[in-house]
Chain A
Amino acid sequence: MTLSVIYILWLRQIKRYFRSKARIVGSLGQPLLFLLAFGFGFGPIFQKAGQGNYIQFLTPGIIAMSILFTAVFSGIEIIWDRQFGFLKETLVAPVSRLEIMLGRTLGGATVATLQGVIVFVLSLFVGFHIYSLIALPFAFIFMFFMALLFTALGTAIASVLKDMQGFQLIMNFLIMPIFFLSGALFPLDGLPKVIEVIVRCNPLSYGIDALRAALSGVAHFGLLNDSIFLFVGVVVLLFAGSFLFSKIEA
């Protein structure tokens, strides 16, 4: 394991991120729209139902959403690297697949975390209040873990897909359900059994719950459960991603 190799792969992701300003701004559009439209649209009903301030509830979910999308995209970028041939350059180099996977994943996760932090800062202008300054660093840690988990997922997907044809399928049947069935938008009390089971199998649910605990001071599953499931998810997907990535033939 060579740190300089992992570092240069990480650095490449960071440089690419900061160089595409259009991408940064563009990817903020969706979370902002969700925050404004849902936040203010459903706010009064939420309040009437006795659940309190909806912006306060929704913001951690929207932060998690932008992390989810950015992270999965970062992982899936491997397909572009394959298309532009750059993947081959790394695959013929005398470095292990694990180093390549780790460097890329850490880079992608850092980028996704940054994106989450930007959405968090924007949410403060929409009316979100953090409940405790002491808990804030934990929020960033949970963001990073979520980012790590879903970048590894993206890497795993990209290692299996041969081209972008299957991308729409992955988006609509995996990524969107992960987002919508995670408790990002609605409280998890009193759900139908089927939905409840899906939500409990979804790693994002625990990420959002942990983030909500750190930012708004409420948790459905409890912080300990959240941390355990999130950590297990990260480990499992890092292994799965590394394994599938090691099978790539360029």
Chain B
Amino acid sequence: MNIIEVKNLTKRFGDFVAVDNISFTVEKGEVFAFLGPNGAGKTTSIRMMTTLLAPSEGEIILNGINPQKDQAAARKSFGIVFQDPSVDEELTAYENMEFHGVLYKVPKEVRRKRIEELLKIVELWDRKNHLVKTFSGGMRRRLEIARGLLHHPKILFLDEPTLGLDPQTRNHIWSYIMNLNNVEQITIFFTTHYMGEAQDIASKVVIIDRGKIVATGTPSELMKKTSADSLEKAFLALTGATIREEEASPVDHLRMGRKMYHR
């Protein structure tokens, strides 16, 4: 059964085509890697799949629901860990979880139980009453993953979940996610720039470049196709070795200004 179906999905910003007529399917319980260089259209696609952006053309079906038509139902069926941090620093870890639980209308008793469970799994239970601004990058990431799982989604979107984390934390996070995938049959849809990660855990890979899908298959199929001995080499063979420029959004400028201001 396909839990995600994307047909002829296109997104234009003025003249620029960010996502160009892509189609793919993800089976229930699959660990799906969505790979591509910077600016390939990964995040734009995820934003469309998660109702944050309206597609210019094409259709998306998530868990049997069209997110354009029934936003609320679609939103309940997925959890997401964004590429950029999205926790409230001025709230505690517990309050962030509580906030999410209320927004997703998880009943109080269930909410309390799951928050405790999840915070223990990501090893933040001891710090539950600390403000998130005192947390390291890895801790915030773990909190975001726990939060994304609180409402028991059918699909978990992870947009570069391990960016900037040390190998210990990365391993920890992936083993937790894989366990979830095994036990709860949650479909994992992730992007990453660490090809090793994708090679190790993905059951299916789609490579997107300049808004178009350039390859689909299991990691070993892609390696065989390009006669490469690693997914990284296969990836480079498929997308070329030139470095991509990505324009900074106003938010990036803001973030940079803020960083300088804090220094």
**Chain A residues with a Cβ under 8 A of chain B:** 2, 4-5, 7-8, 12, 15-16, 19-20, 79, 82-86, 88-96, 162-165, 249-250
Q: Would A86 and B88 be within 8 Å (CB), given that A91-B52, A94-B73 are in contact?
A: yes
Pairs A–B under 8 Å by Cβ, sample size 6: A8-B99, A19-B90, A84-B88, A86-B87, A92-B51, A164-B257
20 more contacts with CB within 8 A, not counting A12-B99, A92-B75, A92-B80, are A2-B105, A4-B105, A8-B98, A12-B88, A20-B90, A83-B251, A83-B254, A84-B85, A84-B86, A85-B82, A85-B84, A88-B52, A89-B82, A89-B87, A89-B100, A92-B50, A92-B51, A93-B100, A249-B52, A249-B54
Smallest CB-CB A-B distances: 3 pairs: A85-B86, A93-B103, A94-B75
How many Å from the CB of B110 to the closest CB on chain A? 14
Q: Tell me the bound Cα distance from A50 to B112 in angstroms.
A: 65
- State whether the Cβ of B102 lies closer than 8 Å to any Cβ in chain A: yes
- State whether the Cβ of B72 lies closer than 8 Å to any Cβ in chain A: yes
**Chain B residues whose CB sits within 8 angstroms of the CB of A82 once the complex forms:** 251
- State whether the Cβ of B180 lies closer than 8 Å to any Cβ in chain A: no
| Secondary structure dominating the interface of A | helix
Q: Tell me the bound Cα distance from A85 to B255 in angstroms.
A: 10
Tell me whether A94 and B72 are in contact (CB under 8 A): yes
Nearest-neighbor residue (CB-CB) of A90 within chain B: B103
**Chain A residues whose CB sits within 8 angstroms of the CB of B90 once the complex forms:** 15-16, 19-20
- State whether the Cβ of B104 lies closer than 8 Å to any Cβ in chain A: yes
- State whether the Cβ of B53 lies closer than 8 Å to any Cβ in chain A: yes
- B231-263 CB mask vs A (1 if < 8 Å, else 0) is 000000000000000000011011101100000
**Chain B residues whose CB sits within 8 angstroms of the CB of A5 once the complex forms:** 102-103, 105
Q: Would A88 and B82 be within 8 Å (CB), given that A12-B88, A19-B90, A163-B254 are in contact?
A: yes
Number of interface residues of B (CB under 8 A): 38
Q: Tell me the bound Cα distance from A165 to B54 in angstroms.
A: 26
- State whether the Cβ of B89 lies closer than 8 Å to any Cβ in chain A: yes
**Chain A residues whose CB sits within 8 angstroms of the CB of B87 once the complex forms:** 85-86, 89
Tell me whether A250 and B52 are in contact (CB under 8 A): yes
Tell me whether B103 and A8 are in contact (CB under 8 A): yes
Identify which of residues 60-106 in chain B touch chain A, using a CB-to-CB cut-off of 8 Å.
71-73, 75-76, 80, 82, 84-91, 95, 98-100, 102-105
Q: Would A85 and B85 be within 8 Å (CB), given that A92-B80, A249-B52 are in contact?
A: yes
How many Å from the CB of B78 to the closest CB on chain A? 8
**Chain B residues whose CB sits within 8 angstroms of the CB of A92 once the complex forms:** 50-52, 75, 80
Q: Would A94 and B251 be within 8 Å (CB), given that A12-B91, A85-B85 are in contact?
A: no
Tell me whether B255 and A83 are in contact (CB under 8 A): yes
- B38-70 CB mask vs A (1 if < 8 Å, else 0) is 000000000100111110000000000000000
Nearest-neighbor residue (CB-CB) of A81 within chain B: B88
**Chain B residues whose CB sits within 8 angstroms of the CB of A12 once the complex forms:** 88, 91, 95, 99
Q: Tell me the bound Cα distance from A96 to B88 in angstroms.
A: 20
**Chain B residues whose CB sits within 8 angstroms of the CB of A2 once the complex forms:** 105
